[in-house]
Chain A
Amino acid sequence: MSSNSLKSILFFSCLILVTGLNLTALAQAQDSGETVVNQSDISENEEPATRSLSESIDAQFGFIVESMATVLFWVPVQAVPIPLIVLILFCGSLFFTIYHNWLNIRGFKHAVDITRGRYDNPNDPGEISHFQALTSALSATVGLGNIAGVAVAIHAGGPGAVIWMMLIGLLGMTAKFNECTLAMVYRKVRPDGTVDGGPMHYLEIGLQERGFSFPVAKAFGLVFALFCIGGSFGGGNMFQANQATSAVRGMLGEAAGINWVFGCVLAFLVGLVIIGGIKRIGQVTEKIIPLMCGIYVLAGLVILVIHIKQVPDAAVLIVRSCVSPEAAYGGFIGVLVQGIRRAVFSNEAGVGSAAIAHAAAKTDEPVREGLVAMLGPFIDTVVICTMTALVVIVSGAYNTPEAGQGVEMTRWAFSETLSWFPTVLNISVFLFAYSTMISWSYYGEKAWQYIFGTTRTAIIVYRFIFLGFIILGAVASLDNVIEFSDLMILSMAFPNIIGGIILAPRVKALLKDYWRRYKDNEFTVYD
């Protein structure tokens, strides 16, 4: 490790420690009612002095989120309360699926073959194999969206929301194909072998090729980059920190200031990789993630096998609630919106984030990587989310108030059958959160570089802000964190889906040519 890395770690550790200790002390002081504000300043109408620092920050954060939501979650037709962005996501995914002639179904087997490495040429340009690119993208998507997000969807939208999650998961496969193919077409391969790609690049260059002026194309790229930075602070960071903290509270119990302390610890651990440059930690985490996924899915299957008699009833309940949803969940539209929001939040199809990771794949065939990317939403949503949903429903957690919400509900559902599982789940939650934060810090930094350049100062500023948001995420309430995370991540789809539709003819032409060569057996097989 270089001396610069050591200095960075030392400086950063001190900063986190000092900030954390001060904030913890302050939080504890306020939690215990010690005077931190002048008592004479408090009128009868104001919040009591016992309101903790965490709550104050959360309240202010909530106000900001609410203001942003009125703009970004604008409902165009009041009679049909579907936010515009949810409409764009659904219609966009449907468009890509029909336009690319149901590639999610006809290209599935070929996508699996590519991922298995049948067509991997080690001499192709790029950084990583198809399988590694899929693993990298999944490490950002598989995680709390699948564990906590499904519980949130069922809590807010009822069991019927699961159907909409699955549907958007299936349609989202082609949206993911479209964006990742574009990322490959317009990526920049540097002479040192590294790759720079993603929606900001294909929007800027691709739209100019389609006749748009530079300012318009650049505006698309900039808007995407801005929301991507927001997404890296929200869903890719605060939501993860929040739910990881919740998991720790589940293990260690409630204690004053635990959110602050754990937030600081988490920020420190992420900082070791993104500022300290200790790549070994990130490498180990990335390799553990598939194992944790396997354990999670296996445990879910065990529970479903034990409750096999209840599974048909759960399936019927899901379907029935989907077509005749209860008013408590906001009726048909409420369920639909919840299902789509949580599915997209989990698999990020149409959002454009995974395209940044897939752009690093070692291939000279853009369509090939697009096909690999298509498997992401299938694994994430159709398989893992559905399994979580079934466990939550067969265990009865979804209509048991003491089960809590978010990750707490899923933990309760698993522990009903496997009493030892919560510990494994808590470790999984921590590791999923950690790997997602590292992956998203990369996405966010790429977007940040697109706007602010690649100078050392610009990069280090982003990384420290990212760490600050981890602490904020640990102390804020789940509702506010989810709202902010949704706002940012879903809003990335505005420029990405609109731009993706404009550029879709290019993808279609590439797909047509690729598919003809594939059917004519023109590709070299390497296995």
Chain B
Amino acid sequence: MPLHVSTVVVPIDFSVASNGAIETALEIVDSPSQIHLIHVMLPLETMSPGVLLGDITDVSRTEKVTTALKDLADDHDADGAHIAVMIGTPGLEIADYAKRHKADLILIPSHGYHGMKRLFLGSVAERVLRHAPCRVLVLRRTDNQ
């Protein structure tokens, strides 16, 4: 059954699998402007050396990630894709973003681990599946990274 969607949320963790997710999203949508590339940063630890002694702030982090997301969109000829950076628990923030933007689909890569690695590493994709307000397409990773 073909997918007809107007808004696709693609969470980006800057892994190799993220590239595949953008490519897949571009195959599904009519225009890159229907794609939302989002990245969720973990809350800044106020006792980390970068905060206490360096110049790491939420503003500086957001700027860096926004630039990185724009570069990624350019690399994939996805000019016009929406870009968003959030802070919080990745699975929950992704689901919440999809809800706010009335997304039809969340397209997320999974790590594809088995056994011990799966047990220890857990999955953002699993949390998105539990909380998503829309359909979720989980892409199996092939690089096993």
Contact = CB atoms under 8 A, between A and B. Distances in A.
Q: Is B a genuine binding partner of A?
A: yes
B39 interface: yes
A273 B61 contact: no
Nearest to A457: B89
The prevalent SS among residues of A at the interface is helix
A381 interface: no
Interface stretch (A16-24, A141-149, A187-195, A338-346): A187-195
B1 interface: no
B50 A273 contact: no
B117 A279 contact: no
B64 A133 contact: no
Contacts of A277: 46
A438 B117 contact: no
Given A195-B50, A441-B47, A456 B56 contact: no
Q: Which of A128, A195, A278 has the largest count of B CB atoms less than 10 A from its CB?
A: A128
Contacts of A135: 53
Nearest to B58: A192
Contacts of A442: 45, 47-49
B78 interface: no
B76 to A, nearest CB: 16
B49 A194 contact: no
A442 B43 CA distance: 13
Nearest to A443: B47
Nearest to A276: B46
Q: Which of A192, A214, A439 has the largest count of B CB atoms less than 10 A from its CB?
A: A192
Contact of A283 (B41, B43, B52): B52
Given A191-B68, A192-B41, A214-B117, A456 B88 contact: yes
B50 A128 contact: yes
A136 B49 contact: yes
A207 interface: no
B61 to A, nearest CB: 4
A100 interface: no
Given A191-B68, A453-B122, A215 B116 contact: yes
A194 B56 contact: yes
Nearest to B72: A191
B81 to A, nearest CB: 16
Interface in B61-85: 61-62, 64-65, 68
Contacts of A136: 49, 52-53
Contacts of B52: 136, 279, 282-283, 286, 438
B123 to A, nearest CB: 10
Contacts of B120: 218
Interface string A271-291: 001100111001100100000
Contacts of A439: 47
Contacts of B54: 127-129, 132, 360
A206 B29 CA distance: 41
A445 B45 CA distance: 9
A129 B55 CA distance: 10
B84 to A, nearest CB: 14
Given A192-B41, A453-B122, A132 B49 contact: yes
A507 interface: no
A456 B89 contact: yes
B73 to A, nearest CB: 14
Given A136-B52, A218-B120, A192 B64 contact: yes
B56 A127 contact: yes
Given A132-B53, A136-B53, A127 B43 contact: no
Contacts of A445: 45, 47
Interface in A235-258: none
A282 B46 contact: yes
Contact of A191 (B47, B64, B116, B122): B64
A357 interface: yes
Contact of A193 (B46, B56, B116): B56
B116 A214 contact: yes
A101 B42 CA distance: 41
Contacts of A441: 47
A149 to B, nearest CB: 23
Contacts of A459: 43
Given A127-B54, A128-B50, A132-B53, A193 B64 contact: yes
A128 to B, nearest CB: 4
Contacts of A456: 43, 88-89
Interface string A207-244: 00000001100100000000000000000000000000
Given A136-B49, A136-B52, A191 B43 contact: no
A133 B49 contact: yes
Given A191-B14, A215-B116, A274 B46 contact: yes
A360 B41 contact: no
B51 interface: yes
A282 B56 contact: no
Interface string B1-42: 000000000000010000000000000000000000001011
Contacts of B62: 192
A50 interface: no
B50 A194 contact: yes
Nearest to B61: A192
A454 B122 CA distance: 11
Nearest to A213: B116
Contacts of A193: 50, 56, 60-61, 64
A455 interface: yes
Nearest to B69: A191
A274 B43 CA distance: 12
Given A132-B54, A191-B39, A193-B56, 19 more contacts: A128-B50, A128-B53, A191-B14, A192-B41, A192-B64, A193-B60, A194-B44, A194-B61, A214-B117, A215-B116, A278-B46, A279-B52, A282-B47, A282-B51, A286-B52, A360-B48, A441-B47, A445-B45, A456-B89
5 contacts: A193-B60, A194-B61, A283-B52, A360-B48, A442-B49
Interface of B: 14, 39, 41-54, 56, 60-62, 64-65, 68, 88-89, 116-117, 120, 122
The 8 closest A-B pairs by CB, nearest first: A127-B50, A192-B61, A136-B49, A128-B54, A132-B53, A279-B46, A442-B47, A127-B54
